Amino acid sequence: MMFFSRKKFLGVILISGLLLAALLYSWSLQCSSAVYISHRRPSEIKNILERVAEHHDYHDIAYHVKEDVASLLVQNSCVCEANKDAIQLPGMDLLFPQVWAFDIASAFLQSQNKPESVKQRRAEEYSSFQRRLHSPADELIVAKANSPLQYPTQGVAVRPLKTIIIPGLELKEEPREKYVVSFNAALGTFDVAATVDKVLVEGEGQSHMTLTSSLLPALNRQLQFVTYTNTVFHPKTADTVCFATESHRSFFTIKIEHETVPKLHFSGHQKEYNISALVTIATKTFLRYDKLKDLIDSIRKFYPNVTMVIADDNEHPQPVRGPHIEQYIMPFGKGWFAGRNLAVSQVITKYVLWVDDDFIFTSNTKLEKMVDILEKTTLDLVSGAVREVTGYTTTYRHTMSVEDGGEEGNCLHIRQGYYHAIEGFPNCVVADAAINFFMASTEKVRQVGFDPRLARRGHFEFFIDALGSLHVGSCTDIIVNHASKIIIPWNKKDSQKAYEKFRYSTSKNDNSINPELFYFKYRFKCMTSP
């Protein structure tokens, strides 16, 4: 009896100990800083600070690494390591979840026949992604001291809740007994990654920090190690830093944002463009299966293996069969833009080609050229031209601008024309809006989206949504034919009559300009167009 009581007593002690440890661990998380601290290796910290300290004017001034701050600095040397120091006891994973690691690169490359080719292709895709993402406003520019403060005017960024060294700080001032500079911020705190003799640092780890020294070179050496830590989480914002002396003030911003995660597409090892691996053709159909059949037949004549996605909101849908065809049924009469959203949502290739269901491919419908333009430029979307049965060809190019209009709303100005030609592609130009036959980055089109309130009519609305997001091009030598709309009234089929009833509805909600949409969604008070 005593043996069982002792065993039970030991069990209670063990459970209590585990619960106490869990409580202490939970309490430590609640009381600790919001920033997760992962210490860097001493050699890595030393290398970072040595690069920072390579300043020709102050290289002979010694500094002392402040490891608790320096270890927080962001660097490009992430490692794929699991937690190896964890104590392995039953139930510990529940109380103290351990870090696990999966080597994605090794797992994927080992399954490839040509791993080096895959790595090269990914590098090319990433380079293309960076070209589109790059902005001169992201480049570091340091304003040389003439106020007498020197500081970065742009190009400083920190990840949310992370730490950086602020580059380019310096003071150029006439000799005096004491030199004082201060820092103020709203969304973060300041510290130093290393200390310099004969410099007094006050306010470490706070949103206001002051540096004081009787030696200007020592102060400037210390300024090389000033750090900023973001403490208020926001995925994309900026903090305004005030950098000041007793008689001068300067302001600069530090962007706070997550790293943009690239979305790259692996389309094989071919040296030439594999259109079926790069492009999906998307369309929306309604009461025009005869036109849709003609479109499909014309596509298969030139591109037999390209996948085609069809959004269908007919009341009595008919199956559309054939190789590389995906038909998605929608609620009856759901609408054009809703169908475009559905179709684009199912595309898994890098590019999507949008066509109306009454288009006809010809030998001039060169998808290879569209891909070539998108691959070799920073364009996100390139449109072609549509040729009517009369022989008239249109590109529908327009530029758009929004003019501030005060409290009552802004003004939208739409003008026919374009901005400039595209170097290397003499028949192509840059514009803001183009015709409804275009190839575009699938991811970028998804980011813009299609407003499902536009059920029957809508064109400019997509490009208004895309203004400032999509880089748009238009070419005259990539042509798709438009099926004839000239039909003798007494030869019209019931489906054609039904289509016209829906398409050309007199309802005010289906007008070419929807005042409610433009007034509330876009905050426009006026729109002008020739």
Residue ranges per structural domain of the chain: 34-79+117-264, 275-528
8 Å CB contact between 86 and 98: yes
- In tens digits, what is the pLDDT along the chain, a chain of 530 residues? 444 466 565 666 666 665 555 555 444 434 333 333 233 455 666 666 776 666 557 777 888 888 888 877 766 566 666 666 555 556 556 556 666 666 777 777 888 888 888 888 788 888 887 777 777 677 777 777 667 999 999 999 999 999 999 999 999 998 999 999 999 999 999 999 999 999 999 999 999 999 999 999 999 999 999 999 999 999 999 999 999 999 999 999 999 999 888 888 887 766 788 999 999 999 999 988 999 999 999 999 999 999 999 999 999 999 999 999 999 999 998 998 999 999 999 999 999 999 999 999 999 999 999 999 999 999 999 999 999 988 999 999 999 999 888 888 899 999 999 999 999 999 999 999 999 999 999 999 999 999 998 887 788 899 999 999 999 999 999 999 998 755 555 455 666 655 555 555 555 444 456 777 788 888 888 888 87
523 dihedral zone (left: phi>0; alpha: psi -120 to 50; beta): left
CA Rg value for the chain: 31
- Alpha-carbon distance of 419 to 474, in angstroms, equals 11
The pTM (predicted TM-score) of the whole model is: 0.75
- Alpha-carbon distance of 202 to 222, in angstroms, equals 13
Q: Which residues contact 122 (CB under 8 A, 6 or more apart)?
A: 264, 266
287 dihedral zone (left: phi>0; alpha: psi -120 to 50; beta): left
Rounded to a whole number of angstroms, the distance between the first and last alpha carbons of the chain is 99
8 Å CB contact between 402 and 436: no
CATH number corresponding to 275-528: 3.90.550.10
Closest Cα partner for 34 from 148, 168, 189, 236? Answer: 189
For 204-211, the CB contacts below 8 A with 24+ separation are: 208/182, 208/183, 208/184, 209/182, 209/183, 210/180, 210/181, 210/182, 210/183, 211/180, 211/181, 211/182
Helix H or strand E segment including 393: strand 393-394
- Alpha-carbon distance of 117 to 139, in angstroms, equals 31
